[in-house]
Amino acid sequence: MASDRLQGEAEFWLFGYGSLIFKPPPHFDRRVPGYVTGYVRRFWQTLSQDHRGTPTAPGRVVTLIERSFYETLTDHHPPGSDRIWGTAYRIQAARVAEVREYLDIREINGYTIHYTDFHPADESSVIKTLVYIGTPDNDQFTGPQDPQKLAEHIYRSKGPSGPNKDYLLSLEAALDGLSPESGDGHVKDLANRLRRIETGSDTVISREAIEHELQKVGSTDEQEETEKHGF
Ligand code: BEZ
């Protein structure tokens, strides 16, 4: 049937905005950097036990939130650019069914299939892509998170696919590498917080703060002594 033939011959493109950027799907024959619009990327999806994270301490991964819905929420980070950068992959025609099966196993935890227009960085024609999104109605969607607590949670979480922090740092590096404008403020801020947690500089800061406070107390005591003794 003509419609079957058309369906069979249609190209299959996949848009990756998370781990797919640095961990490509199998059997792609084209890889194109670019962006989609109308979303905000956030670490607001809980990762169940079969990826990074355990059932008791599941990690966090990114999802896309439609901007119109995002604007109804109170977030700690600004929404950032309307361009959500990532990578589109064209899957070899003969391997589409196989790859889709693989992706369903790999990605389906709370994520559902959507389609979105992808804009290649080189400004060539827009491509219709399939994208996996954890929408706000899925059980694993967390909604807005305190960035420091989120970074600490990512720092602590680990699972069969590896440490959750590796996911965050790999995503940061992969985004920085796509284009001069592809960095993501939310991802960057979490990665910076994570690095400070890792190096203990958060602890150093609070120790400095404590010392500062102690000095103030000391000088107040001295001042009181001075006042008492009339010096
Ligand atoms: C992504 O990289 O786009 C992605 C990976 C896993 C689940 C959903 C999306």
pLDDT in tens, 151-179: 999 999 986 778 999 999 999 999 999 99
pLDDT at residue 180 greater than cutoff 80: yes
Is residue 107 among the annotated active site residues?
yes
Atom of ligand 1 at shortest distance to CA of 134? 8
Catalytic residue among 9, 11, 101, 107: 107
Determine the Cα–Cα distance for residues 50 and 68; give it in Å rounded to an integer.
31
| More confident call, 110 vs 3 | 110
Angstrom CA distances, 73 to 81, 133, 208, stand at 17, 18, 35
Q: What is the architecture of the domain spanning 3-217?
A: Roll (3.10)
Q: Where are the domains of the chain?
A: 3-217
pLDDT tens per residue, range 77-112: 999 999 999 999 999 999 999 998 888 876 677 899
Closest residue by Cα to atom 4, ligand 1, is 18
pLDDT tens per residue, range 103-134: 887 667 789 999 999 999 999 999 999 999 99
Q: Quick one: which of 145, 146, 138 has its CA closest to 107?
A: 138
Atom of ligand 1 at shortest distance to CA of 131? 3
Determine the Cα–Cα distance for residues 110 and 43; give it in Å rounded to an integer.
14
- Cβ–ligand 1 contact at 132 (below 6 Å): yes
User: What are 173's two structure tokens?
Assistant: 């590096």
- Cβ–ligand 1 contact at 43 (below 6 Å): no
Distance 17 CA to ligand 1 centre (A): 6
